[in-house]
Structure 1
Amino acid sequence: MAAWYRNRLLVMQRFHLNFEVFKTIDPFFDDTRPLVFTHQDLHMRKLILGKDGQLWVIDWDDAGFYPEWFEGVNMREVYHLHGDSGSWNKLNSGIFGDSNS
């Protein structure tokens, strides 16, 4: 699985998808860590606060088992692509820590 992700990163860098976020990713993924279930499209428009105070996360189309740092990296990519809230981007490291480890 790590080899597939490594190749995917190289392809994305090669085909003009060379956003700043990809430059921070080590192309040699640590395959000793387990994959975890992640949403993969988490941003402000995917969160709904119910009248009862319950937080709902919607739109799980891209969810799957990925390296544990993928969610944080994807959040940074969404910020760069769509210009999401700067405060959301600042929360990224607080929520996920260093997305490159």
Structure 2
Amino acid sequence: MSRLSRYEQEAARLAELPRAERFASLLSFPLDFTFKVIGRGPDFWREVRQLLDARGHEQVILVERPSAHGRFCSITFSLHITDADALDAYYGALQALPNLVYLL
């Protein structure tokens, strides 16, 4: 059995933590955080827009890029995030979008 490197040990430790604690361990807050979401269909941006509007981010600009055949749409946007719990809440809300395929 091989020994894990310190990097592998730290990665394994972080993987066991709740997501908000991982964010707190890896990032310095407050920060401007860029999200990238990929969803099904040309109207996926509407789901993202509604989520942001409901949280008071009507002025946030969405950069949309449709896939070659129009089946998917990637959207990039940035938000000012005050702490790890806020970032975790946005990840949770984005993951709940019905047409979400991938979240970075």
Q: Does TM, normalized by the shorter one, top 0.5?
A: no
Flag the structure with higher strand content: 2
Higher relative contact order (CA 8 A, sep 6+): 2
Q: Which structure's CA Rg is the greater one?
A: 2
